[in-house]
Structure 1
């Protein structure tokens, strides 16, 4: 990750001492992650993954005014803990905020600075390139609150939605040879069910390659009557293999999973609320397409509703999580941090079942954005908020 730096400082300060401090700061951050810092002039400042103004000393405010007209928003002020660097940065930031300009001070330990820089790089990079996501079949008939405007998706999110007839998937499935099916997974289950599920999995991979997709959503229930299997295994494997895959043709869920992948670099679990304990702010989520690499262990089963196909009952880590869902208008969203407190093993729910503790579950009963939500490990609310702040 390349970070370009434009330094400013007062002539009253010892340049050699300050430059040594700068060098030490960069070295400490580079030891934490894959950064490369470059001191540049203003002409080259914005030719990198991230561009920062390094405020090296107090008294830099006047020098900042001299270059302000050549700077692009958002303006990030990198500071030391010495030489009155922070004080000068606060004066500059107050000045910028009074002009309603987007700006922020980057100050703290090398570990914090590394984390924050990664967040900013991911946030900015997500806006640069148009990516393709596939819609295999239309959204399922019961997703009556989950339609999306394709043009708005391209305009707001830089995502091109490509409709793919489910008949194409079925034809690919029919022509699969799985003799050389490669997988590092141990799947102890009915041989015929596994063969059919693997054929769907390979067909999905071929669609990914053909249409240059970053992921897809599948109207999976249409497979039940046509080829008598499900897409659960294939979607679980797509998510394991660094793509994204959601079921039921749920486009907002797919977009939500894609955004989470961009900002956290983690797979996400598409699930729907099954039971809510309002008094204790606890909620049970369940679904059949858990990514393999989100499970500590798993049992291979059939798809819940149909009793056919191949799905996972995975045991997830009991740890901090983030729940996220983008609304169908592609601007509003729900995000909340919580914790998985229990894995369940019930017969009347979709295969992977987790109980989550939140601060407040009222959103799900008063103003939810559809039924499916995406769950990732870790606490990422600030990063997601940052992503949408950049989009606005």
Structure 2
């Protein structure tokens, strides 16, 4: 197991006073693991200098040892590597105090982080991460993208994980490079399989196809595993929405979220990566004693579907998808917290004053769930709720299971 090591020392402290302790620590660790690094950092500048000389992207885990307090600002920078972290503290020089602060910083960014205070605990923590290597790698190395901006009404949205930002200006460059013929070719088969086409004409369908092709090229050029897009901003510029493109990507196995919401995208990517299932991202449109209604204008094309317009704007191409009945789960992620509920999909509704795909879900104590959940958007996923909750807990989420 390859382990990266770094020591933190306050700018007020004399490094010479800690050289022996650091040397003995490295020697002991090297008897058990393949050690990389072993340098001191006091400032962000020290971290940048070390980063240029040592590649921690190739290690299996990182050990951070704050030798003193006041080292949090420098050591927190190691979150950028997205590798499991073990923080070793000791009872002297405010070492443990710094370690506890650092542990919570990493955990808030969903970087697995453990605090230990002796070598046996350190070894056990590292071997535990080695046992989980495959699972953690699949999670920590996901490449997510945001096209445009987070929609401004998502007032609770916070996201501390690294992601690639693609401006709408860049998106429009890709879109303008797609011909009408390429756009139509991309969606012709999807159009032919539709049970009905209501509002959209061929011009609207071609725009939807051009959006799909443009995004597909962005995914290839930026090596993204999934993406979300600030979709409403497209309406004024090109008179269309990406609803159909998102529906196609989700059906093809590429997680795609709307409104620029990264937390929903993260949930979609986890479900796809670990269960190979798509997710329906929906608004809570209604609820009763034992049911919730989710609605949105995009949904994975995994059932009979009708092509509609986007509900709020009356433009673009939305989808009304007949999602399968049966057991499923509701998932809501916000930061390091997650809510999971076992549910049953029991039917569809087709009101003209809601978003196009409308799914009725049976859930026990629906009003308690609504009272305790973390915000609006929820994911409907066809996986077992307990298995999903267990996985999320392993990945470092604080999970509430209904």
CA distance in 1 between counterparts of 2:274 and 2:134 reads 6
Q: Deviations for 1:312-340, whole angstroms, at most 9, x for unmatched residues?
A: 1111111111111111x2x2100011101
Instruction: Give the counterpart of 2:138 among 106, 122, 126.
Output: 126
Q: Displacement, 1:178? A: 4.1
2:246 corresponds in structure 1 to 235
User: What is the Cα-based RMSD across aligned positions, in Å?
Assistant: 2.3
Flag the 1:140–1:182 CA change in 2: closer, same or farther, 3 A: closer
2:75 corresponds in structure 1 to none
1:373 corresponds in structure 2 to 378
Q: Displacement, 1:263? A: 2.2
Any idea what SS the aligned residue of 1:144 has? Answer: coil
CA distance in 2 between counterparts of 1:225 and 1:385 reads 43
Task: Give every structure 1 segment of 4 or more consecutive aligned residues whose post-TM-superposition deviation is greater than 3 Å.
Answer: 120-125, 362-365
Q: Displacement, 1:367? A: 3.1
CA distance in 2 between counterparts of 1:364 and 1:305 reads 27
CA distance in 1 between counterparts of 2:391 and 2:142 reads 20
Any idea what SS the aligned residue of 1:391 has? Answer: coil
Using the size of structure 1 for normalisation, the TM-score is 0.62
Q: Displacement, 1:289? A: 1.0
1:299 corresponds in structure 2 to 306
Contact 1:263 1:384 in 2 (8 A): no
Unaligned 5+ residue runs, structure 1?
A: 1-42, 44-98, 103-119, 154-159
1:386 corresponds in structure 2 to 391
2:292 corresponds in structure 1 to 283
Contact 1:123 1:387 in 2 (8 A): no
Instruction: Give the counterpart of 1:313 among 313, 320, 343.
Output: 320
CA distance in 1 between counterparts of 2:177 and 2:393 reads 42
Match status 1:342 vs 2:344: no
Task: Give the total of aligned pairs.
Answer: 261
Q: Displacement, 1:363? A: 4.8
2:168 corresponds in structure 1 to 166
Any idea what SS the aligned residue of 1:369 has? Answer: coil
1:55 corresponds in structure 2 to none
Any idea what SS the aligned residue of 1:386 has? Answer: helix
Match status 1:220 vs 2:226: no
1:203 corresponds in structure 2 to 214
Any idea what SS the aligned residue of 1:274 has? Answer: strand
CA distance in 2 between counterparts of 1:223 and 1:205 reads 17
Any idea what SS the aligned residue of 1:289 has? Answer: coil
Contact 2:186 2:209 in 1 (8 A): no
Contact 1:263 1:387 in 2 (8 A): no
Flag the 1:162–1:298 CA change in 2: closer, same or farther, 3 A: same
CA distance in 2 between counterparts of 1:219 and 1:363 reads 31
Unaligned 5+ residue runs, structure 2?
A: 1-32, 34-120, 126-131, 398-402
Any idea what SS the aligned residue of 2:169 has? Answer: helix
Match status 1:177 vs 2:184: no
CA distance in 1 between counterparts of 2:375 and 2:218 reads 27
Contact 1:264 1:380 in 2 (8 A): no
1:362 corresponds in structure 2 to 367
Instruction: Give the counterpart of 1:325 among 320, 332, 341.
Output: 332
CA distance in 2 between counterparts of 1:218 and 1:167 reads 13
Flag the 1:121–1:269 CA change in 2: closer, same or farther, 3 A: farther
Higher helix share goes to which structure?
A: 2
